[in-house]
Structure 1
Amino acid sequence: MPRGERPLGPEDTALLRFAGDLRRLRDQAGKPSYRELAGRANYSPTALSDAAGGRKLPSLALTLAFVRACDADPGPWAKRWREVAAEHAQPSHPDAPYPGDVPFTEQDAKQYYGREYLVEQIVESVRAEPLTLVFGASGSGRTSLLRAGLRPALDDAVVITPGHDPLGDLARALAGVFENTAEDRLAEELRRDPGHLGPRIRQHRPGLVLLVDDFEKALGADDFVTALTRCPRVVLAVRADQRQRCLDRGLTGAAITIEPMSADELRRAITEPAARIGATVETAVIARLVAEAANQHALPLVQQALVQTWRRKRGMTLSLAGFEESGGVEHVVVSAAETLFAALGEDDRGAARSLLLQLVSVRRNGLAQRRTRRPDVEPRLLDLLAGARLVTRGTDGVELSHDAVLRWPRLAGWVDEERENLMTHQQLVTAMELWEASDRDPLALYRGARLRRAKELGEFLTGEERRFVDLSTRRETRRSTALIAVMAVLIALVPGTVVYALANERKLTELHDRELGGKAISESEALMEQRRPYADKFALVGYKVNPSPEAERVLRLANAVTRGISFTGTPRDDADVLVAPRGEMAAVTDEDGTDRMWGVDEDVAVPGKRFADRHRVVKLAERRAVTRDDTGAEHLWAVNDADDVTYLSALPDRFRTLDLSADGSRIVGKVGEAAGGGLPTPDQSEHAELFDLSDPRGPRELPMPVRDPETVALSQDGRELATAVRDATAGTTTIEFWRIGGTFEPAGPALLQHGYVRGLTYSSDGRWLAVEHSAESVVEVWQRVPSGTPVLRARLDSALRAGARVTFSDDDRVAVVRDNVFEVQRLYTSDRNADRLVYVVGHGNSTRAVYRPQYGDFLVRSGGQDPELLPYQLDSGQIIKRMCEKDGARLTDSEWVKSFGEVERVDVC
């Protein structure tokens, strides 16, 4: 017979109340035995019994397993567990390597990592310039940079933090610098003559550097500013949104901006302080924090999450279990938000709700995301929110400090309540962008139902947005006045006409826009099919009068088709087209089977030199091309531009190129009878070879870490190699990453994939890796984490099972061409799903999309057999701006009348 549970006794502590509630939860589930619960929870009966024993706090994982086994919702219990854990967590060790929610001090200099390059940059500026201005967003770590970075790096420096009495604070900081000088006396001297400080420093401490923190607080103190500007060496740390005020004060000098930490800098800030005291941070913790915080000003949040993890460390290891128990960055944000909200009064709570909602936008797919705005709000409240790390104040305005703020339950609830208003506001923002792009054309102002909805937004509107609504209202009033005047004439003829007309004017306007827009879009699609001019102009009319996702899609496609780049004089049908990495050149097959180089400008291609007879390009990079002749041998060429093509050397016998780095510095391929595409074929003689092309006339073979990988890829700078080796027995493929040099060494942990991997593609900066699986042609996009396991961020599936051709842009977009489908997705370095930006049918499959950074578009093969490239611009605002600048947006009078009759013309620019 099982032994009964030990009574808990009085539940007079948080731990005992927690245990009692677990027991009551088990009672509500029918009081199953602990052995029965163990079968559901995958924990031993003893562990489950101890969890409800009240002697110690169970782990979070055990608690949630207990709750799930009782068929309860784990969400509230995770929150409850963290509240109890906060009372029972270990106190911070005196040698804890992270400062938490306070800035680094000079005593923390040995633990201050990740900003070494920035510190060197400022030190060099101090030596060269008398005044250096360091601009950083709130949360960028300006105080830590001055105290733990710059102060120890300079031979003689003092930190000044001005408050309500800047000159007094300056005197207090400098009193110990000058011998026999009292603070009060120095302050009085500075008030009488602020310019006296500079000569005094030059005489007594010529090497002294003044480091001024939070300088924006003293920008209005003329005597303080005068005193500083007369000193020999000064560094002013200023919040980024105050840059213009500094310029207005005439403060000119070397300007340095504190950029967000890169992934590598953040990794050092996480691992090095722990390593100094003999502690380690698990790779999974590093990967999670880097993925959540790299390239954004989130270091204070990371430091707080690390302190919470440190309190739950296992020995001297910061483990993933401890990190998850602490709740990570999200728990830090939510705790700070609730603490601040509880301390606010009712009026401030309402104002905070309004402000935070202004910093959220809701996309058409319903997802909430951060946005930057310049809100009209009391500075005191903004300071409170910034101090709690909920918002960041930067050059462009104010934004939520981290995506985790969006997951604060209270804010998420507000977003749900105001979702319709937020979507309406996002439409207003888009309309204002179009209005600005059309040089504030009055016809682009709001009217009708959209104007009425915009007027109802109230607190969501900034001053600029209110002005747009007011302008729209005045124009609508003039329009209505004119309509009433006409109706007044008609009223004598047809009683009731005015009332009827006014009641239906809104419906008629909407119907007019919808019908006119639909007709323009249909006309554009018909013209595209016939490859006739004006398709983009009709698409623009349709988009302007009735904006919609479909109208935007047609505008993008019509613009691409109108700008299509053809290869005149290349009569070969369905010719192969290979485009160089930056889209500046292309190799196209002539009718006789020989490839010719073409120079590709913005919208035109110019023919260049041909390769040797019957040579076809198999790989094209910057300044390099690999061709294959009709015997199957491969050759290396120099291609400086379309007219400068030079033969370099033959590649080894039976060599088949697998990849050529985008910069042309390295090439990898296979040697053997089985070398080639498709599924792997057994061949004992087949092996991979890697060459350095520094001397292209004599390629130098490098060590190859894997003898016979099925798939390989080179990073675009040629410094890293990815290899995929298949285990047919296990049905898996192992992807490994190697640094290329005189020897080879791993560049990161391996990645295990199920099934066969057909293709690998690096992004230009190496931050992303696309993995194509065969035969389903699913593309998985992984975020590369320095020295950590890659993190899966997107899975791009398709009904088509043709091979996928993958390209990355410079701004975290990934483009995929499958058969005749071209799609682009936006990637995120968080748990947020990728957003599909474009999905268009009607493209050829003989080339991948190529991103052109100089034009911000993608070159994509058009449908059909004609070797034509379409320059695909995704930003509709840029399309409109370009069309209007080149006077290519307005339909002729005859085209307008022919298509729309006597309907009033819509001016699109």
Structure 2
Amino acid sequence: MPRGERPLGPEDTALLRFAGDLRRLRDQAGKPSYRELARRANYSPTALSDAAGGRKLPSLALTLAFVRACEADPASWTKRWRELAVEHTQPPHPGTPYPGGEPFTEDDAKRFFGRECLVEQVVESVGAKPLTVVLGASGSGRTSLLRAGLLPALDDAVVITPGQDPVLDLARALAEVFENTTADRLAQEFREDPDHLRLRIRQHRPGLVLLVDDFEQALDAPEFVAAVTRCPHVVLAVRADGRKRWRDLGVEGTEITIEPMSADQLRRAITEPAAKIGATVETAVIARLVADAANQHALPLVQQALVETWRRKRGMTLSLAGFEESGGIEHVVVRSAETLLATLGETGERAARQLLLRLVSVRRNGIAQRRTRLLDVDARLLGLLVKARLVTLTEDGAELTHDAVLRWPRLARWIDEDRENLRTHQQLVTAIELWEASDRDPLALYRGVRLRKAKELGEFLTVEERQFVARSARRETRRSTALIAVMAVLLALVPGTVVYALSNERKITEMNASALGGKALSQSEALLEQRRPYADKYALVGYDVSPSAESEKVLRLASAVARGIPFTGTPKDDADVVVAPRGEMAAVTDADGTDRMWTIDEDKASPGQKFADRHRVVKLAERRAVTRDFNGQEHLWFVNDANDLTYLTALPSRFRTLDLSADGSRIVGKVGASVEVGLPTPDESEYAELYDLSDPRSPRKLPMPVGNPGTVALSQDGRELATGVWNQATGTTTIEFWSIGGTVESAGPPMAQHAYVRGITYSGDGRWLAVEHSSPESIVEVWQRVPSGTPVLRARLDTALRAGARVTFSDDGRVAVVRDNVFEVQQLYTNDRPADRLVYVVGHGGSTRAVYRPQNRDFLVRGGGQDPELLPYDLDTGRIIKRMCEKDGARLTDSEWVKSFGEVERREVC
């Protein structure tokens, strides 16, 4: 006969009440035996009996197994277990390798990992320049960098943290550095003449480096700023939202930005501190944390999650079971948020709710997401939310620290309750952006229902948003007042009939005003289809009357078509067009199959010299061109300009160029019987070769680090080579980076891509890398380069098209992709903000890549027809309007206006 359960006695503790409820749960399930529960739960009867014994808190996994065996809801028990776990968790062992939510100190230097490259960069800057400014978002680790990274790395340094009295805080920190003085005496000295600090350091400690933390707190203290910025060696740590105020001081210094930790850096920050004390972290825990926090300023949350996992470690192993019991980052956020709310009181909670909801937007599909905003709120409350790691302050404003904040049950409930207001607010933000883009056109202001809904948002709005609503309300009032005055006069003259007529006339006026924009855009689109002139003029009228994303798109396209660059006299239909890297020249195929060089100047092209008979340009760089003759032999040319071509040399026999660096200094290709780029099963007889073109008449062969890569790319300065090697067995392409100098050496950790990589493209400054997958549809991933680290994924551009993508970067963080006949441009960001699509146009691109022209700040893209025409695509609407108005190309003639719009009053667009 099975032994009965030990009585619990009075349930006067949370642990005993928990055990009692587990027993009652078993009773409600029909009181199965523990042997039967064991069969259902896959745990031993003894473990299940102990779980309800009340002597110790069972593990989360055991508790949930018990609950599921009793067919109860595991979610509510998970929440209850975690609340109880907080009470019963022992304090961390003194040997815990992680600091939790606190910054690293100098004593933690031996376990400060992941920021080695950044430390080296700052130390090098200190040796080269007097002043270095380290900028980082809140939670990026500025304090840890100074105390655990730089302080031990520098021979002589001191950390200064300004507070309420920055000068006195400076003096207190230096009183221990300078002998025979006191903090009060130093403070008085610095206030009388801030330059005394510089003189003291030069006389007594010439190598001393001042490490100033939280410098943004002292920007309003001129004596402090003057004292520290004049010193020989200074590092200022400035929170990112203080960058503008810092720059307004006009002090020159080297700026270094603390980027979020990459996956590899975060992995080291997790594993290395544990390894230092002989502990290990299970791979599953590492994978979960890296997936949750890589490339985000969430390191404090990771450290807190690791501390909670450490408390539940098995021996010296941080296990997945312990991590799941702790709740991970999500539980850290919930606990921190609820703890903060408990201290705020009812009024403070309402204010916190309003602030947090301002940092949330709701998509059309109803999904809530984080958003960045400039807030004009109580600085104390914002500071508390930042300290609790719920909000991060960046250069662009405030944002929720992590997606886990959105999953905080209380905030999720607030979002559901205010979902309609959040949608209204999102529409208002978009309206303000359009209003600003249209040079604050009064017609873009709110009125009617939209205005009434915006007013109802009240204190939810920022100062800028309230100003927009107030301006809209004033305009609405003026329109209503004028209408009432006119109606009063007419009522006195002809009651009844005139009221109807006026009401009807007002509708016609509103209809005409609304219809005018649509009619102008329709006229523009019709002219575009027929390739007839003036499409841009009508598009400008449409945009001026009714500014919107759609009218802006038509204006950009109409401007590009109006400025189209034809290659007059080139009779060959569908000719190949190869444009130089900066868009100043192009090679276009003539009717005889020979390429001719053309000079491109703003919006026109002038013919130049031809290459040798039936030579076609394969690659075009600055002052270099590679051509292929009718026998397949490739040749190197010097291109001084379109009218000055000089033959240099033939490239090696059977050589096929894969890439030529934009500056013309390096060339890489393959040698083989039939080299075809982009095949996942290359000919084994092929091999790759790399050449230095410093002496272009005698190319010098360089060591090729990979024998037969499937994909290769050169950086624009020719100093780096990327190679992609496809492993058909594993379905993986390994991308490696190589530094090209006298030798070829590794330039960073490799990237493994679980797809066949068809193409790789560097940006001009080397900060970005585009990788095109073929699976079989074309997918372009854009990665941000990290010095000596693993690149960070910033954008993923999918398509249903199978054609290969041709990728180009501008010099201001935009990426242009041409696939088949689609031309697309996206704006990239160096944080976790998704890329913004700026352009998506069908009917452009064709056989050539888009080329960014820095001198014109536009993209050259192939027209959609067979003619070898290039369209200058400018994305700056204000610049388009300015250009049209300056050239008097914006005004329709009177006859054109009347023909299209009848007697409607003319709109002056300039």
Aligned to 1:386: 386
Deviates more, 1:531-540 or 1:251-260: 251-260
- The answer on whether the counterparts of 2:757 and 2:771 sit within 8 Å (CA) in structure 1 is no
Alpha-carbon distance in structure 1 between the residues aligned to 2:851 and 2:64: 48
For the residue of structure 2 that corresponds to 1:561, the secondary structure is: helix
Deviates more, 1:656-665 or 1:529-538: 656-665
Aligned to 2:525: 525
For the residue of structure 2 that corresponds to 1:570, the secondary structure is: coil
Aligned to 1:576: 576
1:484 equivalenced with 2:481 (yes/no): no
For the residue of structure 2 that corresponds to 1:345, the secondary structure is: helix
Aligned to 1:862: 863
Letter in 1 for 2:720: R
- The answer on whether the counterparts of 1:451 and 1:469 sit within 8 Å (CA) in structure 2 is yes
For the residue of structure 1 that corresponds to 2:781, the secondary structure is: strand
Letter in 1 for 2:592: D
CA deviation profile, 1:323-358 (whole Å, cap 9, x unmatched): 676555555444433332232222222222222333
1:546 equivalenced with 2:543 (yes/no): no
Aligned to 2:688: 689
Alpha-carbon distance in structure 2 between the residues aligned to 1:712 and 1:245: 44
Shift in Å, 1:381:
1.3
Match 2:42 to one of 41, 45, 58: 45
Residues 1:590 and 1:204: Cα distance change in structure 2 (over 3 Å): closer
Alpha-carbon distance in structure 1 between the residues aligned to 2:747 and 2:128: 41
Aligned to 1:796: 798
Aligned to 2:843: 842
- The answer on whether the counterparts of 2:794 and 2:835 sit within 8 Å (CA) in structure 1 is no
- The answer on whether the counterparts of 1:793 and 1:829 sit within 8 Å (CA) in structure 2 is no
- The answer on whether the counterparts of 1:624 and 1:664 sit within 8 Å (CA) in structure 2 is yes
Letter in 1 for 2:253: A
Deviates more, 1:764-773 or 1:779-788: 779-788
Alpha-carbon distance in structure 1 between the residues aligned to 2:875 and 2:804: 24
Shift in Å, 1:628:
1.8
Deviates more, 1:830-839 or 1:167-176: 830-839
Alpha-carbon distance in structure 2 between the residues aligned to 1:582 and 1:509: 49
Shift in Å, 1:103:
1.9
Shift in Å, 1:900:
1.4
Shift in Å, 1:442:
4.3
CA deviation profile, 1:214-237 (whole Å, cap 9, x unmatched): 345455567766776897776654
- The answer on whether the counterparts of 1:157 and 1:211 sit within 8 Å (CA) in structure 2 is yes
For the residue of structure 2 that corresponds to 1:779, the secondary structure is: strand
Shift in Å, 1:106:
2.3
For the residue of structure 1 that corresponds to 2:101, the secondary structure is: coil
Shift in Å, 1:282:
7.3
Q: Which runs of 5+ in 2 are unaligned?
A: none
CA deviation profile, 1:104-153 (whole Å, cap 9, x unmatched): 22223344455566656766776788777665543344433443344444
Shift in Å, 1:631:
0.9
Aligned to 1:54: 51
Shift in Å, 1:512:
3.7
For the residue of structure 2 that corresponds to 1:344, the secondary structure is: helix
Shift in Å, 1:903:
1.9
Residues 1:758 and 1:134: Cα distance change in structure 2 (over 3 Å): closer
Alpha-carbon distance in structure 2 between the residues aligned to 1:659 and 1:749: 20
Shift in Å, 1:385:
1.8
Shift in Å, 1:457:
3.1
For the residue of structure 2 that corresponds to 1:573, the secondary structure is: coil
- The answer on whether the counterparts of 1:767 and 1:783 sit within 8 Å (CA) in structure 2 is yes
Residues 1:818 and 1:134: Cα distance change in structure 2 (over 3 Å): closer
The aligned runs of 1:86-485 (5 Å cut-off) are 92-113=92-113, 136-166=136-166, 168-179=168-179, 181=181, 210-218=210-218, 237-242=237-242, 252=251, 254=253, 256=255, 258-261=257-260, 263=262, 273=273, 276-277=276-277, 297-308=297-308, 329-362=329-362, 368-485=368-485
Alpha-carbon distance in structure 1 between the residues aligned to 2:203 and 2:647: 68
Residues 1:428 and 1:719: Cα distance change in structure 2 (over 3 Å): same
Residues 1:260 and 1:631: Cα distance change in structure 2 (over 3 Å): same
Alpha-carbon distance in structure 2 between the residues aligned to 1:63 and 1:672: 65
Shift in Å, 1:391:
2.9
Alpha-carbon distance in structure 1 between the residues aligned to 2:279 and 2:552: 54
CA deviation profile, 1:531-556 (whole Å, cap 9, x unmatched): 22222232233334334444343233
Alpha-carbon distance in structure 1 between the residues aligned to 2:363 and 2:294: 24
Residues 1:360 and 1:895: Cα distance change in structure 2 (over 3 Å): farther
Aligned to 1:723: 724
Aligned to 1:737: 735
Shift in Å, 1:484:
2.8
Letter in 2 for 1:632: G
- The answer on whether the counterparts of 1:361 and 1:368 sit within 8 Å (CA) in structure 2 is yes
The aligned runs of 1:667-686 (5 Å cut-off) are 667-676=667-676, 686=685
Letter in 1 for 2:689: L
Shift in Å, 1:39:
12
- The answer on whether the counterparts of 2:858 and 2:873 sit within 8 Å (CA) in structure 1 is yes
For the residue of structure 1 that corresponds to 2:103, the secondary structure is: coil
- The answer on whether the counterparts of 2:112 and 2:273 sit within 8 Å (CA) in structure 1 is yes
- The answer on whether the counterparts of 1:860 and 1:870 sit within 8 Å (CA) in structure 2 is yes
Residues 1:145 and 1:745: Cα distance change in structure 2 (over 3 Å): closer
1:760 equivalenced with 2:739 (yes/no): no
- The answer on whether the counterparts of 2:751 and 2:790 sit within 8 Å (CA) in structure 1 is no
CA deviation profile, 1:436-474 (whole Å, cap 9, x unmatched): 455445455444444444333322332233333333333
For the residue of structure 1 that corresponds to 2:777, the secondary structure is: coil
- The answer on whether the counterparts of 2:434 and 2:547 sit within 8 Å (CA) in structure 1 is no
Residues 1:720 and 1:246: Cα distance change in structure 2 (over 3 Å): closer
Shift in Å, 1:687:
1.7
- The answer on whether the counterparts of 1:619 and 1:660 sit within 8 Å (CA) in structure 2 is yes
- The answer on whether the counterparts of 2:438 and 2:544 sit within 8 Å (CA) in structure 1 is no
Alpha-carbon distance in structure 2 between the residues aligned to 1:544 and 1:29: 70
- The answer on whether the counterparts of 1:589 and 1:616 sit within 8 Å (CA) in structure 2 is yes
Alpha-carbon distance in structure 2 between the residues aligned to 1:563 and 1:619: 26
TM-score w.r.t. length of structure 2: 0.81
Aligned to 1:777: 777
Alpha-carbon distance in structure 1 between the residues aligned to 2:233 and 2:539: 59
Deviates more, 1:141-150 or 1:256-265: 256-265
Residues 1:85 and 1:495: Cα distance change in structure 2 (over 3 Å): same
Deviates more, 1:569-578 or 1:801-810: 801-810
For the residue of structure 2 that corresponds to 1:902, the secondary structure is: coil
TM-score w.r.t. length of structure 1: 0.81
Residues 1:815 and 1:287: Cα distance change in structure 2 (over 3 Å): farther
Alpha-carbon distance in structure 2 between the residues aligned to 1:320 and 1:396: 36
CA deviation profile, 1:403-456 (whole Å, cap 9, x unmatched): 554444444444444444444444444444444455445455444444444333
Aligned to 1:556: 556
CA deviation profile, 1:708-737 (whole Å, cap 9, x unmatched): 56555556656343334364xx6x633122
Shift in Å, 1:524:
0.9
Letter in 2 for 1:45: N
Shift in Å, 1:526:
0.6
Residues 1:462 and 1:683: Cα distance change in structure 2 (over 3 Å): closer
- The answer on whether the counterparts of 1:330 and 1:404 sit within 8 Å (CA) in structure 2 is yes
Deviates more, 1:842-851 or 1:122-131: 122-131
Alpha-carbon distance in structure 2 between the residues aligned to 1:877 and 1:66: 66
Alpha-carbon distance in structure 2 between the residues aligned to 1:644 and 1:67: 83
Residues 1:219 and 1:708: Cα distance change in structure 2 (over 3 Å): closer
- The answer on whether the counterparts of 2:140 and 2:299 sit within 8 Å (CA) in structure 1 is yes
Q: Which runs of 5+ in 1 are unaligned?
A: none
Shift in Å, 1:394:
4.6
Deviates more, 1:603-612 or 1:519-528: 603-612
Aligned to 1:627: 627
- The answer on whether the counterparts of 2:688 and 2:708 sit within 8 Å (CA) in structure 1 is no
Shift in Å, 1:401:
3.8
